[in-house]
Amino acid sequence: MIVASILTTNLAILVLAGFIGFVVISKVPNTLHTPLMSGTNAIHGIVLLGGLLVIGFAGNGTFNKIILVIAITFGTINIVGGFLVTDRMLEMFKAKPKPPPAAAQDGSAAAGGAAGAAQDGGAPKDAGAH
Amino acid sequence: MIHPVLGSFFVQNPNFLAVLYIIAFSLFIQGLRGLAAPTTAVRGNRIAAVGMLIAVVATLLNRHEGNWGLIALGIALGTAVGIPAARQVKMTAMPQMVALFNGVGGGAAFLIAWSEFRLTHGYSHTPTYIAIFSLFAAIVGSISFWGSNIAFGKLQEILPGRPITLGAGQQAVNLVLLTLAIAAGVDIAAGDSSQGIFIGLLVCAALLGNAVVLPIGGADMPVVISLLNAFTGLATAATGVALNNTALIVAGMIVGASGSILTNLMAQAMNRSIPAIVAGGFGGGGVVEGATGAGEHAGVVRSTSAADAAIQLAYANRVVVVPGYGMAVAQAQHAVRELAKELESRGVEVVYAIHPVAGRMPGHMNVLLAEADVPYDQLKEMDEANPEFPRTDVSLVIGANDVTNPAAKNTPSSPIYGMPILEVADSRSVIVIKRSMNPGFAGIENELYYEPKTSMLFGDAKSAVGEITAELAQI
């Protein structure tokens, strides 16, 4: 029986993952470009796993251990920092609940109505500049 | 408690690991889909984070070798640095923080490749393809690490935002560095196991990372960070092939591919092409001289006072506020909202014109103004705002520069020619609040400031807007 080699299997996965990556991001509003960049940035922090696996084979070499601990530190910063900073950016896109009394105190009916509208569309809409 | 025998069966069964990896990257894909739409973005990011946690825990459960203490040390250090950095960074400094996080990812990739090289004694007794993918990760990871650090330095203004270039020889130097790095890689893959060659490869890639990003102007930096982000994704995928790790291959390649798409979208939004950005020199070299020359003959700059500006605004029918990075830095959005309220109470129509890349982060202005409770229907996108400028009495430009520069429309020799702008110069008069006459992020002069209809109010955006509001109250 002919068995696909590890290399060809991995190449198949690589190519398919590439297509998924292309398809997943087809159209993104301008306002989300930076958070999306930051989110994908966090995902490639998965390179940390490489450090976790290779350090098991570091043996007695002090230098190998040092560079792998740095690699694990870097990978962890990438993941932890990446997801947190994306979350903080996206917090700003959440619809903020606005207390109606504040709008009433405005005194101006126009401002009150507008505040209501803002509440409906709390997330900035597509900048639509493509 | 996990049954000692059953537990070890599950935990150390490679299929168990494979299943957890499949769950992890399904969550990554689902998370990324969520990140592409405003209503699902927060959840999308959290879904991806859960996927990451599963991938890390699954890997830890399935490794049999020692050095647990070192792993704990690395993860503890990374957490101790990453959490405060992400928590404390100011919103205005987000892009450079992303650059740093991206850079360390690339750094991890090349360090892992280096240790693979050392532990296998120069890839001896390993298939050639493993050497090739590992060396690819080393080169691309190193480029990404150094390039991202330069991008951080430029945005953080540790390094000058202006392009730093070797001039005409730049492209040749880059090509030589790339050739040297690849040549070293071919030599190693062919069997050379000398440490010196590998270090030489890393040094060439490091110099290349510096040489590619240094000539790129600050305004293009978000696009460059996105490009380097895709690079780190590719380095991660290559690391995965070298280590035969599916999670790394899938996650890295998805980031590599979606990152390239995103880079292209960002470049389009700024009307720039990626090759032109990477070729560098945006707003640099001789082009700057030309643009400055145009500014010189354009005439003098009129400076105004808060009191005069207040009078001008009070007797306008329609005022368009054009916010930019200066407003973000000064945190002036609340002051701007107060001024707008005061004007509205006098019957002046106030709207805000938002350029898609105003500030240094797409969507920056929408976010800040929403924070100050500016009614959503007063925020006008560029396409909606531009036709309305001719019937606008006063355009109040607050800390925006390049996105209002008429040179983008009128001066084919300008480095920003072709970039879509807010056509502020079409309005009847313009008040520009700005700290100084220093050029903006692209490093070029703004012809708008020399127009006879323009008056400049120099000062910090927050205090200047506050002063206008105070003067307005006395009219």
Q: What is the DSSP string of A52-85?
A: HHHGGG-TT-HHHHHHHHHHHHHHHHHHHHHHHH
**Nearest-by-CA chain B residue for A118:** B376
Whether B426 contacts B385, CB under 8 Å: no
Q: How confident is the model at residue B147 (pLDDT cuts 50, 70, 90)?
A: very high
- Give residues with Cβ within 8 angstroms of B433, minimum separation 6: B326, B396, B397, B398, B399, B457, B459, B461, B464, B465
User: Which residue of chain B has the CA closest to A89?
Assistant: B91
Token duo for residue B282: 């945006």
The closest CB to that of A37, out of B52, B64, B98, belongs to: B98
Work out the angle at residue B364's Cα, subtended by the Cα atoms of residues B358 and B367, and round it to the nearest 5 degrees: 135
Residue whose C-alpha is closest to residue B383's, from B411, B417, B413, B355: B355
Q: Are B67 and B40 in contact (CB under 8 A)?
A: no
Lowest mean pLDDT among A64-68, B426-430, B466-470, B471-475: B471-475
- pLDDT tens, B203-233? 999 999 999 999 887 777 888 999 999 999 9
Q: Is the pLDDT of residue A114 over 70?
A: no
Comparing A99 with B214, the larger pLDDT belongs to B214
| pLDDT at residue B133 in the model | 97
Three-state secondary structure call for residue A108: coil
Lookup: tokens for B79: 């957490």
Q: How far is CA B17 from CA A43, B26, B236, B241, B332, in A?
A: 19, 14, 19, 17, 51
DSSP β-bridge partners for residue B351:
B320
Q: Comparing A34 with B350, which gets the higher pLDDT?
A: B350
Active site residues of B: 402
Of A21, A35, A120, the CB nearest to B41: A35
DSSP-based three-state secondary structure for A15: helix
Q: How far apart are CA B364 and CA B357, in angstroms?
A: 8
- Total CB pairs under 8 A between chain A and B: 421
Task: Pick the range with the lowest mean pLDDT from A63-77, B10-24, B140-154.
Answer: B10-24
In the predicted model, what is the mean pLDDT of chain B?
A: 86
How distant is the Cα of A61 from the closest Cα of chain B, in angstroms?
9
Please tell me the predicted confidence (pLDDT) of residue B359: 72
* Residue A117: predicted pLDDT: 40
The answer to whether the CB atoms of B108 and A78 lie below 8 A apart is yes
| Record: contact A118-B370, CB cut-off 8 A | yes
- Of B431, B205, B133, B398, nearest to B305 by C-alpha is B431
| Residue B156 binned pLDDT confidence (cut-offs 50, 70, 90) | confident
B60 touches chain A (CB under 8 A): yes
Lowest-confidence segment of A112-121, B26-35, B96-105 by average pLDDT: A112-121
pLDDT classification of A119: cutoffs 50, 70, 90: very low
Please give the pLDDT value at position B136. Answer: 97
- Residue of B45, B134, B225, B266 to mutate, interface with A, max A Cβ within 10 Å: B45
Pairing of strands B318-323, B349-354: parallel
Q: Which range (B55-59, B135-139, B179-183, B267-271) has the least confidence?
A: B267-271
Taking 60 as the threshold, does the pLDDT of residue B19 lie above it? yes
Is B257–A129 a contact, with Cβ atoms under 8 angstroms apart? no
To test the contact with chain B by mutation, choose from A20, A27, A40 the residue with the greatest count of B C-beta atoms within 10 A, namely A40
The ipTM assigned to this model is 0.75
CB contact under 8 A, B373 and A118: yes
Burial class for A50, CB neighbours closer than 10 Å (0-12, 13-18, 19+):
buried
pLDDT score recorded for residue B292: 38
| B139: its two tokens | 């080169």
Question: What's the rounded mean pLDDT across residues B140-163?
Answer: 89
Nearest CA in chain B to A58: B119
- With a pLDDT cut of 70, the percent of chain B lying above it is 91
| B5 vs B8: CA distance, rounded Å | 5
The answer to whether B300 and A63 are in contact (CB under 8 A) is no
**Among B342, B279, B341, B326, which Cα is nearest to B439's?**
B326
Q: Which of residues 229-258 of B touch A (CB under 8 A)?
A: 229, 232-233, 235-237, 239-241, 243-258
**What is the mean pLDDT of the segment spanning B361-381?**
79
Residues of chain A positioned with their CB less than 8 A from the CB of B56: 48-49, 52, 79
Distance from CA of A4 to the nearest CA of B (A): 14
Shortest CA distance from B357: residue in chain A: A30
Backbone phi, psi, residue B430, to 5°: -135, 130
B80 touches chain A (CB under 8 A): no
**pLDDT at site A3:** 60
Across B41-50, B84-93, B278-287, B424-433, least confident range: B278-287
Q: Which helix (H) or strand (E) holds A109?
A: helix A109-120
pLDDT in tens, B261-316: 989 888 877 777 888 787 765 543 333 333 333 334 446 788 888 988 998 998 89
The single residue listed with the structure tokens 């059953």 is: B6
User: Mean pLDDT over residues A75-96, rounded?
Assistant: 85
pLDDT for B401 equals 85
A115–B42: do the CB atoms touch at under 8 Å?
no
Q: Which B-chain residues 354-413 have CB contacts (< 8 A) with chain A?
A: 354, 356-357, 361-363, 366-367, 370-371, 373-379, 381-383
pLDDT of amino acid B328: 83
The whole-angstrom distance between B301's CA and the closest CA on chain A is 32
At residue B162, the pLDDT reads 75
Q: What pLDDT sits at residue B157? A: 81
Closest-approach residue (CA) in chain A for B345: A108
Q: What are phi and psi of B379, to 5 degrees?
A: -85, 115
Dig out the tokens for B225 from the structure. 């960070």
Token pair 């809409």 is found at A125
Task: Give the residue-averaged pLDDT of B167-194.
Answer: 91
pLDDT at B78 over 70: yes
In angstroms, the separation between the Cα of residue A119 and the nearest Cα of chain B is: 8
Q: What is the pLDDT of residue B441?
A: 63
B420 interfacial to chain A (CB closer than 8 Å): yes
Higher pLDDT, B202 or B220: B202
**Is A31–B366 a contact, with Cβ atoms under 8 angstroms apart?**
yes
What is each CA distance from B192 to A30, B12, B123, B135, in whole angstroms? 48, 36, 9, 13
Encode A9-23: b = buried (16+ Cβ within 10 Å), e = exposed. ebeebbeebbebbee
Taking an 8 Å cut-off on Cβ atoms, the answer to whether B251 and A44 are in contact is: yes
Query: Which of A44, A81, A93 lies closest to B41 in CB terms?
Result: A93
Residue A3, min C-alpha distance to chain B (Å): 16
Q: What is the mean pLDDT of residues A105-126?
A: 40
Q: What is the pLDDT of residue B355?
A: 85
> Using CB atoms, which residue from B41, B75, B262 is nearest to A37?
B262
Q: How many whole angstroms separate alpha carbon B95 and alpha carbon A41?
A: 12
Q: Angle at which helices A6-24 and B14-35 pack, to 10 degrees?
A: 20
Q: Do B79 and A17 touch (CB under 8 A)?
A: no
Q: What is the mean pLDDT of chain A?
A: 76
Chain A residues in contact with B250 (beta carbon < 8 A) = 13, 17
- Backbone φ and ψ for B431, nearest 5 degrees, come out as -115, 125
Model pLDDT for residues A65-80, shown as the tens digit of each residue: 999 999 999 999 999 9
pLDDT at B267: 82
Residues of chain A with Cβ-Cβ distance to B67 below 8 Å are: 55-56, 58, 65
- Least CB-CB distance to A81: which of B82, B112, B357? B82
Of A19, A34, A40, the CB nearest to B361: A34
Residue A56 in contact with residue A72, Cβ under 8 Å?
Answer: no
| The predicted structure's pLDDT at residue B371 | 76
Q: Check A38 against B98: CB less than 8 A apart.
A: yes
From B70, which residue of chain A is nearest by alpha-carbon distance? A69
Is residue B1 predicted with pLDDT exceeding 60?
Answer: no
B186 in contact with A, Cβ within 8 Å: no
